[in-house]
Amino acid sequence: MQMQHTHVCAAIDIGSNTIRVVVARCKPTDLDILATDEAMVRISESVNIDGKISPEKRDQTIAILHKFKALAEEYNAHPILAVATEAIRRATNKDEFLASIRDQTGLVVHIIEGDAEAMLTFYGATYELANESGVPTRIAVMDLGGGSMELILAKNLRVTWHTTIAIGSGWIHDRYLLTDPPTAEDVATAQAFLKTYIQGLHIKRFPPLLIATGGSANSLLLLAQRAFGLPTEHKVLTRDDLIRCEGLLYALPTKDIAQRYQLEPKRVRILRAGVLIICALLERFKLNELRISPQGIREGVLLAYAHSGERWLQAAQQSTMDVAVAHDSKTTIEPVVTDIPETFAQAGQRTIWERVQKMHNWHDEVLKNEDIEAVHKMRVASRRLRAALDAYKPICNPKAFKKVYRSVKKTADVLGEARDTDVMIANLQARLTNMPEEEAQAGIRWLQDRLSSYRQQQQKILESHLQNFDEDALKQQLADCFTEERKHHGKG
């Protein structure tokens, strides 16, 4: 049932890299956008490591959703629809994650499958084309996300084929591009992987127009506008523009690019992967340019709601089934293990990076001071990180390595002091049942009391240390020490 009148609604998209909101006055075929906002959380970072959304990422997401809900309420938007995609689909603790969001924000988040994601993205990225002349009969839409990529083909603005490719810009970054800037060797490995991978896409005749949506595509356009003076109304990137963006992104460190072109450092790192993926696709399908759309899945959700009301999600799912039945169209391409063997240096970068993330995942839980196991888990993670640093020390620049090692050791020491005290207190507690003598009970309680007093002091030290612990600064130091050493070895 189509909505008869325009209506202000909001849609939130919890993606693998970014969370976005759009508030708009909605009609089934058009939107009058009133407000948009976005924040980069990189949920996929923790999911890529152990399959779970970390407490830190959960809390960041909830804080952002509160903010976006308030923005929607400023415009009296109703309903506020929320969807989540690849990283959340893959997370083993997604139910718990969605329950926390529901409890703390009142928002019901729908996890949508790749098929529905493709369909909604297509609606959002192409609805404006209906008012344009000269649009080719056949078009393609690519939504490059952090955890996956949707590729959709359409004829006369009706989807005829789509595929979900289980690699995204975050995925490529976390595996191949961890140095800052990445070395020529890393770039070559990532390009070789992408080339092999994208060869697996068999499309007889690729449409002449490719529309790209998603954070990486839009940020590349922004970078090209700011760095090379492309007019802001210009929404097309040529292969030459992309090659220039690639040159810039791989020539300078993240902080320089971020400062010069007012981009978030996290976004700059991901963009390096984004530009490689887009270039690989253009090369594979012999295209010279692509058009960028700022709209995507969120706008698609609003259009679907305006068209089908409460049944918007079922309608989108039904559309994907209709396409599949008609054309046997749906394919999912999973990432394959590349034949290119990982060198010691590459394995070291990946492992250390993952372990820093894993240690940091416990940061907020330790600060909450609700469960002594959080201190234990973070300490174990810090030990594993130190073991990786010891093993992979030769791939690092010695001076930069010292800085990183000192920082990790300090964290491990502070955690260790707190954890050792927790263990002593717990052991004494167990003794209370084994030693019933009155004197023993009195002595044990005295010692427990003293240790508890010391533990409280340690908690303050731990909190002060962790509050000042800058994860991004540590990652930057790591990136520096990898890069410098690789250059030193003549491969930079």
Partner 1 sequence: MAKAKPIPQLDIHASNYKNACIIIKTRLEEMYSWDACVNDSNHVQDLHNLRIAAKRLRYTLELFETTHLEENASLRKEVEQIQEELGALHDSDVMIALLQLSLSSQDSEMSNEDAQSPTLQELTREKIAFHPALLSCILDPAVAPSAQERQGLNLLVTYLQREREEQYTAFHDHWSRLKEQDFQGQVLRMLDT
Site of interaction with partner 1 (CB under 8 A): 341-348, 351, 383-384, 387-388, 390-391, 393-395, 417, 420-421, 423-424, 427, 431, 435, 437-447, 449-451, 453-454, 457-458, 485, 489, 491
Q: Which helix (H) or strand (E) holds 130?
A: none
CA R_g for the chain: 25
DSSP class of residue 205?
Answer: S
| Shortest CB 189 distance to partner 1, Å | 12
Which CB sits closer to partner 1, 60 or 349? 349
Cβ atoms 488, 385 nearer than 8 A: no
CA dihedral 145, 14, 39, 252 (to 10 degrees): -20
Of 326, 322, 336, 323, nearest to 163 (Cα)?
323
2 alpha carbon, distance to own chain's centre: 34
| Shortest CB 395 distance to partner 1, Å | 5
Which CB sits closer to partner 1, 309 or 394? 394
| Structure-token pair, residue 71 | 């923005």
Which CB sits closer to partner 1, 255 or 393? 393
Rounded to whole angstroms, the Cα distance separating 228 from 219 reads: 14
CA dihedral (65, 67, 68, 73) positive or negative: positive
Which CB sits closer to partner 1, 403 or 409? 409
Which CB sits closer to partner 1, 187 or 198? 187
Compute how many other C-beta atoms are within 10 angstroms of the C-beta atom of residue 141. Answer: 27
Which CB sits closer to partner 1, 12 or 345? 345
Cβ atoms 213, 168 nearer than 8 A: no
| Shortest CB 426 distance to partner 1, Å | 10
| Shortest CB 422 distance to partner 1, Å | 12
Compute how many other C-beta atoms are within 10 angstroms of the C-beta atom of residue 317. Answer: 17
| Shortest CB 375 distance to partner 1, Å | 16
Cβ atoms 338, 346 nearer than 8 A: no
| Shortest CB 440 distance to partner 1, Å | 5
| Shortest CB 394 distance to partner 1, Å | 5
φ and ψ of 319, to 5 deg: -60, -40
Which CB sits closer to partner 1, 76 or 434? 434
- SS in 3 state form for 122-148? HHHHHHHHHHCCCCCCEEEEEEECCCC
| Shortest CB 433 distance to partner 1, Å | 13
| Shortest CB 472 distance to partner 1, Å | 25
Which CB sits closer to partner 1, 370 or 437? 437
Which CB sits closer to partner 1, 51 or 394? 394
List CB contacts of 103: < 8 A, sequence separation 6 or more.
Answer: none
Of 76, 1, 31, nearest to 301 (Cα)?
31
Of 83, 105, 63, 81, nearest to 24 (Cα)?
81
| Shortest CB 64 distance to partner 1, Å | 35
Of the chain, the end-to-end C-alpha distance in Å amounts to: 59
Which CB sits closer to partner 1, 228 or 446? 446
Cβ atoms 88, 58 nearer than 8 A: no
Rounded to whole angstroms, the Cα distance separating 87 from 145 reads: 10
